[in-house]
Structure 1
Amino acid sequence: MTDSLPLASLSARLAERSAALASAVGSPLAPPAYLDLIRRAQDVDVLAEQVLKLCVQQCRDAGHTWQEVGDLLGVTRQAAFQRFGKPIDPRTGEPMDKTVRMTDAPERALEIVTAVLEGRMDDARPSFNAEVLAAFTDKVRGDALAGVAGLVGAFEGFGEGDPFVRRIGDHTVVDIPLRYEAGEMKARVAFDTDEKVAGFFVLPPETP
């Protein structure tokens, strides 16, 4: 498992894989070799992420703040914490599990967002938990989307980029880029442990 390797070993392995990728890119390629390039690049990406996580961990251990880390990465301190932090569950005192187990969360969130934005609430409501089902009335939907329209105009379609999925506390949270006539927004769908929708929001894209 590379997760347990020290930073120096991981960095050396990353340099080795990066050099191998650079060498392969510079060689004459037959069509099947392009698939090998993807595999090599994916290996480099995985190792680079592990190196970055260790660097952030050591930076925090040295006393640097999440604000400093976020500034360096071009994100908010909350976004940096959500990506690299190790939150402790106040209920148990144990590190919180950040593993996303809901493998179809992006697809389900996309279907729900599409149904809500198109006004097909009968298609969306079966995915809501009891609290959201009671609270998310047609009037609430209409008022919320009217407020968004007042800020950025009419909805034009989904924005660039894939849905962003992560686990926050007990919830699986999916952010989906949205494109409006005068700006960008994002839909956020939160699923509870029963894989029912526990929250639905349309937010500015910079919201952590």
Structure 2
Amino acid sequence: MTQDIPPDAADRARALFGDFIERRWGEARPEFDARWGDHVFMDRFARGWRDMADSAGSFKRIGAPLARRSGDYTVVDVPLIAGRGEAIGKVAFDTAGKVAGLAIKYPRRHRLDPRPVRIFFLGNPEILGLGRTRI
């Protein structure tokens, strides 16, 4: 049976990354399922986000999100445009609508772009469409 993409998934992902950009960690916490919503997790995520943001420069805008199904998950890709390049934020929502995984790929790869891609992720990378990523 094919499941539909929840109509609010793209907007929720965009709002989630908006909270991250503004460093409103407390506002983002309720979006995560119980195993991800504790203070230790949010502290770890905040450090990873700051590292990525420091290398990307100040954020200029959030692009149009694109949602798709991946097994039992809804995965949303969110373009993040910053002063020194572009990144892709990825959010996987489970069937209960909670965040089951999250990733940031920087820089966004373009054809023939020689720069190495850095990936920060939490959760199962295969859910997020990252394959068997090793960091």
Provide the TM-score with structure 1 as the length reference.
0.47
Tell me the percent identity.
36
Q: 2:84 aligns to what?
A: 182
| Higher relative helix content | 1
Structure 1 residue 150 displacement after superposition: 4.2
SS in 2 for 1:131: coil
Q: 2:17 aligns to what?
A: 113
Which has the larger Rg? Answer: 1
| Higher relative strand content | 2
CA deviations 1:141-193 (Å, max 9, x no partner) are: 3321232134322222213xx21110111110001111111110011111001
Q: 2:121 aligns to what?
A: none
Cα separation, 2, equivalents of 1:166 and 1:124? 22
Gap change, CA 1:195 and 1:180, over 3 Å in 2 = same
Gapped runs of 5+ residues in structure 1?
1-95
Q: 1:199 aligns to what?
A: 101
Mapped contact 1:189–1:199 kept (Cα < 8 A)? yes
CA deviations 1:38-65 (Å, max 9, x no partner) are: xxxxxxxxxxxxxxxxxxxxxxxxxxxx
Give the length in aligned residue pairs: 109
Give yes or no for the alignment of 1:158 onto 2:94: no
Gap change, CA 1:203 and 1:100, over 3 Å in 2 = farther
The amino acid across from 1:197 in the alignment is V
Cα separation, 1, equivalents of 2:55 and 2:25? 23
Cα separation, 2, equivalents of 1:185 and 1:151? 11
Task: Provide runs of 4+ in structure 1 moved above 3 Å.
Answer: none
Mapped contact 1:189–1:200 kept (Cα < 8 A)? yes
Cα separation, 1, equivalents of 2:53 and 2:20? 15
Gapped runs of 5+ residues in structure 2?
110-116, 118-128, 130-135
